[in-house]
């Protein structure tokens, strides 16, 4: 792939194309100065970025729109040079809410269309204007989602010219298959935006996406801002990595530039966020060197399968129905394991009656769960036996169910049940 600072678009399956580097724009609203986002997007466009990643959820789409329109008015770029990705939040999955949500984004941006509109997460919250709906006890209010129906509403937005391309985010293989195998599918997702960096290289999901012409867009490509509100900071900072720094020395680059180059060199789009003028420029200087095949392999070997972004709001209210108990001293018969309590550390050998939940990767350290993500595992459950060991573990006030099977640990939750139902029953 011949990529350069002035020509770095890669094709999308619908005939459009996407710049392989974009500026991420998520910054904690409470601590970010007004105007920082506008200034940063303008600097990015001056630097050569043509792709901006944003979302209604980030509460700064107005600033992104201001910057883009100012640069167009200045004659620096034309609208068609810019690629803007917007996101449908989890409170707007109900099909009738999709177009109004996109229209609100366009109104905020003061633009006529977005280049890419993606479903931000594959689970739904209670529909409405409250972005993180909770009940009076602080429990998340979920909503049953029908991803296929939501997707059809997105397709209508593309037909109406409000979005040039359609994609998804945080989708695992099965959730992608739900869309890909939808009867009467009109438009395939062109991209899947997922966490992806040298410590979380996503080899299986990347391969699946590549096989289906779905471009992977790597969020948190520098290892996040390490905001403890939503990041697992017990994992070491990516940019302190010895290998990334030593390769940086070799090429007179920084660890950040090595991490970004690694992804773009394997065809993965990167959207590093920076609101610092020097770092915005630094992150774009990744087209004047390349890593050897051996170096690419050694960076791939840094993969720990540990993610930084936990998305814990997707992990509440786990409910699993089990048929047969196993371990001595443990409960037997049909059981419900619920979230909220201490959870205990009981081990149950279970046969699932049904799969009323989705699942995610879990990393165990010393038998105690240290982090969990609610979805997006790549493990192929269809090859798995239907009985396994289920461990109920409580961590950080959340209750996780950890399934151990063929040496793989998985946590389960009941939020994204549709994919499981579809593929396992």
Ligand X SMILES: NC(=O)c1ccc[n+]([C@@H]2O[C@H](COP(=O)([O-])OP(=O)(O)OC[C@H]3O[C@@H](n4cnc5c(N)ncnc54)[C@H](OP(=O)(O)O)[C@@H]3O)[C@@H](O)[C@H]2O)c1
> Where in the sequence numbering do the catalytic residues fall?
58
Cα separation, 408 vs 411, in Å, equals 10
- Which residues between 110 and 149 bind ligand X (CB under 6 A)? 120
Q: For the range 200-208, what are the long-range contacts, defined as Cβ-Cβ under 8 Å and sequence gap of 24 or more?
A: 200/303, 200/304, 200/305, 200/306, 200/307, 200/308, 201/300, 201/302, 201/303, 202/378, 203/300, 203/303, 203/378, 204/173, 204/378, 205/172, 205/173, 205/376, 205/378, 206/266, 206/268, 208/173, 208/176, 208/378
Region of 160-168, 270-278, 364-372, 395-403 interacting with ligand X (CB under 6 A)? 270-278
- Between 281 and 320, how does the x/- string for binding to ligand X read (CB under 6 A)? -xx-------------------------x-----------
**Least Å distance between CB 371 and ligand X?**
16
273 contributes a contact to ligand X by CB under 6 A? yes
5 contributes a contact to ligand X by CB under 6 A? no
Cα separation, 406 vs 388, in Å, equals 9
Cα separation, 207 vs 380, in Å, equals 14
Cα separation, 52 vs 169, in Å, equals 15
Comparison of 25 and 358: residue with beta carbon closer to ligand X: 25
Q: Taking a C-beta distance cutoff of 8 angstroms, is the pair 102, 79 a contact? A: no
Region of 66-74, 75-83, 269-277, 354-362 interacting with ligand X (CB under 6 A)? 269-277
Task: Give SS3 for 386.
Answer: coil
Applying CB under 6 A, among 92, 220, 358, 362 the residue interacting with ligand X is: 220
Among 98, 119, 259, residue whose Cα is nearest residue 193: 119
Distances, alpha carbon 22 to alpha carbons 69, 85, 276, 364, in Å: 17, 9, 15, 34
- In eight-state DSSP terms, residue 34 is T
Comparison of 14 and 36: residue with beta carbon closer to ligand X: 36
19 contributes a contact to ligand X by CB under 6 A? no
Tokens of 126: 């209670």
84 contributes a contact to ligand X by CB under 6 A? no
Comparison of 375 and 381: residue with beta carbon closer to ligand X: 375
**Least Å distance between CB 120 and ligand X?**
6
373 contributes a contact to ligand X by CB under 6 A? no
Alpha helix (H) residue ranges in 241-322? 242-251, 255-265, 277-284, 293-300
Comparison of 32 and 349: residue with beta carbon closer to ligand X: 32
Cα separation, 274 vs 253, in Å, equals 17
- Between 177 and 196, how does the x/- string for binding to ligand X read (CB under 6 A)? ----------------x---
Comparison of 276 and 304: residue with beta carbon closer to ligand X: 276
Region of 145-153, 177-185, 213-221, 324-332 interacting with ligand X (CB under 6 A)? 213-221
Contacts of 135 (CB under 8 A, 6+ apart): 141
**Least Å distance between CB 55 and ligand X?**
7
Comparison of 169 and 235: residue with beta carbon closer to ligand X: 169
248 contributes a contact to ligand X by CB under 6 A? no
Size of the residue set binding ligand X (CB under 6 A)? 28
**Least Å distance between CB 333 and ligand X?**
39
Sign of the dihedral defined by the CA atoms of residues 69, 75, 80, 83, in that order: negative
Cα separation, 332 vs 323, in Å, equals 8
Applying CB under 6 A, among 18, 116, 256, 403 the residue interacting with ligand X is: 256
**Least Å distance between CB 370 and ligand X?**
20
Comparison of 220 and 316: residue with beta carbon closer to ligand X: 220
Residue ranges that bind ligand X, judged by CB under 6 A: 24-26, 53, 120, 169-170, 193, 219-225, 239, 254, 256, 271-276, 279, 282-283, 309
């Amino acid at each position: 792939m011949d990529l350069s600072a002035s020509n770095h678009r890669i094709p999308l399956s619908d005939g459009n194309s996407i710049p392989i580097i974009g500026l991420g724009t998520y910054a904690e609203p409470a601590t970010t100065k007004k105007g920082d986002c506008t200034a940063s997007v303008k600097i990015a466009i001056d630097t050569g970025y043509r792709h901006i990643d944003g979302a209604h959820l980030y509460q700064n789409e107005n600033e992104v729109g201001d910057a883009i329109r100012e640069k167009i008015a200045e004659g620096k770029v034309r609208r068609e040079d810019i690629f803007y990705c917007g996101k449908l939040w989890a409170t707007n999955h109900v099909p009738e809410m999709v177009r109004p949500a996109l229209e609100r984004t366009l109104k905020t941006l003061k633009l006529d269309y977005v280049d890419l509109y993606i479903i931000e997460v594959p689970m739904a919250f209670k529909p409405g204007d409250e972005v993180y709906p909770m009940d009076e006890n602080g429990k998340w209010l979920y909503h049953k989602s029908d991803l296929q129906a939501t997707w059809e509403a997105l397709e209508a937005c593309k037909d109406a010219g409000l979005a040039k391309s359609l994609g998804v985010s945080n989708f695992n293989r099965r959730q992608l298959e739900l869309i890909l195998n939808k009867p009467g599918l009109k438009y395939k997702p062109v991209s899947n935006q997922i966490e992806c960096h040298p410590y979380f290289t996503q080899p299986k999901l990347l391969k699946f996406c590549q096989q289906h012409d779905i471009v992977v867009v790597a969020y948190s490509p520098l290892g996040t801002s390490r905001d403890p509100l939503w990041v697992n900071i017990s994992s070491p900072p990516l940019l302190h990595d010895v290998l990334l720094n030593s390769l940086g020395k070799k090429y007179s680059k920084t660890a950040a530039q090595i991490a970004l180059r690694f992804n773009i060199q394997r065809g993965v789009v990167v959207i590093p966020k920076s609101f610092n003028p020097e770092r915005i420029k630094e992150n774009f200087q990744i087209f004047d060197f390349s890593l050897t095949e051996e170096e690419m392999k050694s960076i791939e070997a840094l993969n720990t399968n540990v993610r930084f972004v936990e998305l814990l709001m997707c992990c509440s209210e786990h409910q699993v129905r089990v048929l047969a108990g196993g371990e001595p001293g443990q409960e037997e018969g049909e059981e419900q394991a619920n979230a909220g309590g201490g959870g205990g550390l009981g081990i149950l050998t279970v046969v699932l009656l049904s799969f009323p939940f989705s699942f995610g990767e879990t990393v165990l350290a010393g038998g105690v769960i240290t982090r969990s993500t609610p979805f997006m595992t790549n493990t192929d459950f269809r090859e798995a036996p239907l009985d396994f060991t289920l461990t109920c573990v409580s961590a950080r006030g959340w209750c996780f169910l950890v399934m151990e099977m063929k040496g793989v640990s998985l946590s389960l939750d009941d939020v994204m049940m549709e994919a499981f139902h579809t593929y396992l029953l």
